[in-house]
Amino acid sequence: MKLVFTLEYNGKEFSGFQKQTNAITIQEKVEAAIKKITLCDVSINYAGRTDAGVHALSQVFDFETDIQRKDEDWINGLNSNLPESIKVKSISQVKNNFHSRFSAKNRSYAYVIYNSKSKPVFFNDFAHWEKSPLDFSILKNEGASLIGKHDFSSFRSSSCSSKNPVKEITKFSVEKYNNFLIFHITANAFLHNMVRIIMGTITDIAKKENHLSIEKIITAKDRSMAGRTLSAKGLFFLGPEYDDVYNVAKPSQSILDKFKI
């Protein structure tokens, strides 16, 4: 049978999700926890390869097993063997053709900016600090230009290995809560560092430091035309969405549901 799980994690202590030979990662910790309770070596499939320092509210992973356990025993067993910064939230059984990555219809991220002259002492690990004032109307208007199917070559890192830079962004929003700016973005897929580069570009435009529009930067297909790659600590993977037939937990709709900002 194939089991699928959702989990959340604080990415501060880890060098990303994907297993590496010389660094501590989320995948390493999850697979070690699975081995603890199954006594089997398991290689998991997962929905998104988040980078070092990036957090997640609803990462999804799956694996096959013949071991029968109650759902609560799977969850409690894994969580008792995971560090406090990683927590399994839900479990379900799916068809064998399910794959956490390839079955996903879309993926959603949130980005948190703390916009103030003063540093966010208590939220410093979970928000990017922008000292200069950001024009909220510019953030909204320029962000709207991202929606649609475009070649996002201007918003990919030099190490991006994707063969196809054309992605479709279906949702983009920004909300303001006191000094916090909360961005939500959904697409069928993302290029490496795409969200963080978009955030750096749109904030540079909102500070009047980049005088190009998002539309012109997209058309240029040139990374040098876009802005900075903002810090990983402000980025949250909200999760993937699947067809209802798979009965997988829905992604977090908003980061506000978690942090109650």
3-state secondary structure 2-30: EEEEEEEECHHHCCCCCCCCCCCCHHHHH
From the candidates 51, 71, 73, 204, which is the catalytic residue?
Answer: 51
Whose CA is closest to 166, among 194, 145, 143? 194
Annotation says 71 is catalytic: no
Whose CA is closest to 105, among 171, 175, 51? 171
Rg value, the chain, Cα = 19
Buried b (16+ CB within 10 A) or exposed e, 83-119: eeebebeebbebeeebbbbebbebbbbbbbbbbeeee
**Catalytic machinery residues:** 51
